[in-house]
Structure 1
Amino acid sequence: MLRQLVGHRAALDVTADTDPIPAAHAAALREPNRLDWCLRQRSSGPDLVWADCHRRRGNCPHPHVIDHQCTTPPPAARQRRARTTSVPEGQLALG
């Protein structure tokens, strides 16, 4: 996974898959809560940028990545034990 703050003014914390895919394929996977990102190689390493290159140039020459989507179920919530008190129901216990 790639993780980066994307944007200069209001940065978005992005966690994306590392597998590069063509821009058209990434655009097809895009959903309202799952975005695709243009993946540029800089001298400092990979850099994610907004995928508005579709509008500017039509077909982007750079690989794209898509927001990561977990496929494993979340761990089960921990069950809380029922708390027992020595006072009748409705009476407050001071401790």
Structure 2
Amino acid sequence: MNRADGGARRARCPRCDRPVLRQLVGRRAALDVTADAAPMPAAAAQTLREPNRLTWCLRERSCSPDLRWLGPGHPADCPHPHVIDHQCTTPAAARPAAPRRTRKPPPVPAGQLTL
């Protein structure tokens, strides 16, 4: 996940198969961000923001896209596109039941004790 250039990588959501951007954002306590890959204007992203759904400034670099934290110094009239945390609505697939583990049958006929 942490690329040498520090940018985001394009991927697909394993549940809904929508395109997403994945990146570790931050230097000390990095957040593992999965954001929708569809860029939008800053105002549109702000309307979709929720307490547990953040918006990110998307900078297109020569080698890869780069997600930036929207801190207090981020300009309100930012010209860059923004993306929002991915919120998958597809229910998680049910895991197959684990095979039952049973004891091995005793090596002697039923009723006979082993020592």
TM over 0.5: yes
**SS in structure 2 at match of 1:57:** coil
Please state how far the C-alpha of 1:58 moved relative to its aligned partner: 1.8
Whose helix fraction is larger, Structure 1's or Structure 2's? 1
TM-score for the superposition, normalised by structure 2: 0.63
Residue 51 of structure 1 aligns with an amino acid whose one-letter code is L
Divergent runs of 4+, >3 A: 77-86
Within the candidate set 64, 72, 81, 1:63 is matched to: 81
TM-score for the superposition, normalised by structure 1: 0.75
Please state how far the C-alpha of 1:9 moved relative to its aligned partner: 1.6
Q: Deviations over 1:35-63 (max 9, x none)?
A: 1100001122100000237x542211110
Please state how far the C-alpha of 1:79 moved relative to its aligned partner: 3.9
Residue 7 of structure 1 aligns with an amino acid whose one-letter code is G
Report % sequence identity.
64
Gaps of 5+ in 1: 87-95
**SS in structure 2 at match of 1:43:** coil
CA RMSD of the aligned region, Å?
Answer: 2.0
